[in-house]
Amino acid sequence: MDIWQPNSQAPARPLRIATLGAYAVFIAINVASSAGLLGPTNAEVSAKFQVPLTPAGWAFSIWGLIFVLEGWGAAYQYIDLDYDADGFKARFVNATNLNWIVAWAACCAWQLAFVQQTPGGMWLALAAIVTAFLAMGRALVQLYSVKERFGPAPSLPLYCAFFLGTTINTAWLSVAASVQLLISLRLSFGPHLEAAAVLAAAVFTCLGAAALIREHDTAYGLTLVWALVAVFEHTDSTPVHRTALAAIVAIPNSTAEAAASNPTTDPTPGGNATVKGAASGGAAAGSVCNPASLNSTKPVPCTDEQEADALNDLMIDTPSSSDPLAAVFDTSTCDPADPQGYTQPVDLADSSLLEVVIAVSDDFLMAAGNDSYWMTACEGDFTHDPFNACQVPRSLSAPPEEPTVYKVQLKLSCAEGVNDTIALEATAALGPAPDGNLTVSAITWQQIPLPGVGQ
């Protein structure tokens, strides 16, 4: 995932223009297709080549919502508004723009191939629609990566511009690719497609369940339910009818069970970025506090307080009770007479501080080595939560290339499967690299006692 991690620099103007232009072409081709300027309309071709997974006609109205959301995203990424210090908009744009361009181009190619109504044209259409799904899915995975590292979108406009359209489009394209596969098979091998239809429905339902359970992406699940209801209504195949009904029931049930057993992340504005589950008064079953559950050497003694802290307190911003779209900004406490000069409190939700925390965590993991506790018990996957941070105040006359120096105290915990926590105190400098991107240097850290529960 790290190789896909978008940086926090606003994309270059030519790329933003290209994204806006690609969206305009995407809309123009769809309008031309709907008007019959490219040949038979999509509805006419679909009616001619019915397959067991073809949804009812009303389901295709979801494209209207996709066009609006992605149009908002294309326009919003172009304007300079909100490309600010927190880096959220820049990260979302960097996660989506190239992927959107590829997906929109592939959708245009699908339109041109689909109207040919030949076996070769339908296989080309399949290649195009699968390409669109993979490109849009890659954008969604990168958005998940941003959410996991930096928290969910801090505002509804950001969420709607980049996350919502991408997730709805990805889910719908998974269904569209399945339908296109069946059409291609029908033209090449005949009409006996029930087994292939059931298998295809199972595959895209499993993908949706994964998005729901792992990422709590409700929009993805609702899009699949929308499509499956349309398939359930329209299909004449009894096996597909039963499969669609089972999937309609299974998708929301799997979401509810996952939320009840292991609350994790929510991509919507104000959702928790990292939550480790319900509070526990003692050692949780399956944790490293229970020596019968894991035969591994712990880096520090494990106490009930540490276990409760790991289960209950590793979280980033939660929504304000008065404003569900506003983040709660945690503050730090610093010694005004600190001999090293770390006197200025840092907001714990500050994106620059999170860059430092991530770099410190990575440095700790590299120093620990492949045979360490973190690589064996946690498989190198852990969360990081700063609970106090101070910086050396910057002079007003300081040149832009002068780094900002931080001292931060943070907690580390296994991200999946094992609940355990340690704390580090680290110092690091954050400043521009020669290529203009921010980089963290001069990292030092030492292990410290955990703070009290609730910090």
- Answer yes or no: are the C-beta atoms of 224 and 175 closer than 8 Å: yes
pLDDT given for residue 3 in this prediction: 34
In a domain, 453, yes or no: no
Q: How far is it, in rounded angstroms, from Cα 185 to Cα 191?
A: 8
pTM above 0.95, yes or no: no
What is the identity of the amino acid at 34? S
Q: Which of 431, 351, 435, 437 is nearest to 9 (CA)?
A: 437
Residues 253 and 122 in one domain: yes
Is 370 contained in some domain?
yes
**pLDDT tens readout for residues 314-328:** 333 333 333 333 333
Ramachandran sector of residue 69 (left: φ over 0; alpha: ψ -120 to 50; beta: rest): alpha
DSSP secondary structure code for residue 395 in this structure: P
Q: How far is residue 387's CA from residue 341's CA, in Å, rounded to a whole number? A: 19
| Same-domain status, 318 and 410 | yes
- The answer to whether residue 190 sits within a structural domain is yes
Domain containing 437 equals 304-448
Structure tokens at 366: 């590299």
| In a shared domain, residues 256 and 371 | no
Classify 194 as helix, strand or coil: helix
Report if residue 277 sits inside a domain.
no
> Which runs of consecutive H residues, i.e. helices, occur in 164-217?
165-189, 194-215
- Residue 37's pLDDT is 94
Number of domains the chain is built from: 2
Per-range mean pLDDT, top range of 71-85, 168-182, 199-213, 272-286: 168-182
Same-domain status, 219 and 363: no
Evaluate the CA torsion angle 346, 350, 352, 355 in order and state its sign: positive
How far apart CA 180 and CA 197 sit, in angstroms, is 11
- The CATH number of the domain holding residue 347 is 3.10.450
Q: Is 400:412 a contact under the CB 8 Å cutoff?
A: no
Q: How many CB atoms lie within 10 A of CB 295?
A: 8
Is residue 161 located within the same domain as residue 17?
yes
- The H or E element spanning position 447 is strand 438-448
Q: What is the pLDDT of residues 328-386, one digit of tens each?
A: 344 688 998 999 999 998 887 777 888 898 889 888 888 877 777 777 767 656 677 88
Q: Are residues 71 and 199 in the same domain?
A: yes
- State the burial class of residue 412 (Cβ atoms within 10 Å of its Cβ: 0-12, 13-18, 19+): buried
Let me know: does 62 contact 226? Beta carbons within 8 Å. Answer: yes
Q: How far apart are CA 121 and CA 40, in angstroms?
A: 14
Residues 330 and 193 in one domain: no
Same domain, 86 and 207: yes
Across 68-76, average pLDDT? 96
Which pLDDT tens digit goes with each residue over 275-311? Answer: 322 222 222 333 333 333 333 333 444 454 544 444 4
Residue 269 banded pLDDT, cuts 50, 70, 90: low
- Indicate whether 62 and 211 sit together in one domain: yes
Q: Which of 204, 236, 261 is the last residue of a domain?
A: 261
Same domain, 108 and 14: yes
